[in-house]
Structure 1
């Protein structure tokens, strides 16, 4: 039976969990995730875990933060004055906002702390710095 390799298009069912068992994402209630192995469309550790799997095979893997969303970077947190936020936006902890850079590009940030005068924004991915556990099932391989 064929094993998944770079260039193959695969369909994978997965459940992603944190170390404490909290599920952060799962494909079980929807169609399996489809991607091309080696195409960079998923986190590196997820891709690496699929290589060598056969159709119908299941496994559990732990992906260290460095092979997932990277290490948490304190420099990607900023504290701004509340007055800098448009009046029509009422920031709340956990809220996701889009910041526009001078080049016109957008960066997604999460509101992590609010005081009377300031708001702390975090541009790290919400899963940065976390090791991720995945239950994987390779549903289908389309050979390259």
Structure 2
């Protein structure tokens, strides 16, 4: 079966970006022991990522690069905030480099990278950690199968074999 909308796909992948010198930097991977499994075509993955996998089948390998714009977007210079230290009175004050959970006024949860800490302010970067970076993917298609009706109803895959509970 070829990768198409409403197929469950299991893949291995390695993700790299490039540093300022143009050298590839390893970010993360999924291997055959713990593959990435997702329901294709329902918005779970980056659209351009899915576009590159369309039509592939079990055993095929892939390698492609997504521009920052097609990945997590360009860095937004306005996506920085200074938070009062009082916000952290019930938890340990974060350190520069930490990634902290935050919540907006609508209850949406997200993460921010701490860029500075003073006696009064915790400065955070609200950009996605991969914003502004090209994403270089390579891997293999391990499994492609039709989604079960339960998976379609739930909008996500239930594991490589379709029987993983939740």
TM-score w.r.t. structure 2 length?
0.76
Alignment of 1:1-144 (within 5 A): 2-19=1-18, 20-28=23-31, 30-86=33-89, 88-143=91-146
Higher mean Cα deviation, 3-12 or 125-134?
3-12
How many matched pairs?
143
Once the two structures are TM-superposed, the CA of residue 88 in structure 1 deviates from its matched residue by 3.4
| Structure 2: runs of 5 or more not aligned | 148-166
Distance 1:62 1:77, change over 3 A: same
Once the two structures are TM-superposed, the CA of residue 84 in structure 1 deviates from its matched residue by 4.3
Once the two structures are TM-superposed, the CA of residue 115 in structure 1 deviates from its matched residue by 4.0
Once the two structures are TM-superposed, the CA of residue 117 in structure 1 deviates from its matched residue by 4.2
In structure 1, the residue matched to 2:153 is none
Once the two structures are TM-superposed, the CA of residue 57 in structure 1 deviates from its matched residue by 0.7
Secondary structure of 1:6's match? coil
Over aligned residues, Cα RMSD in angstroms? 2.0
TM-score w.r.t. structure 1 length?
0.86
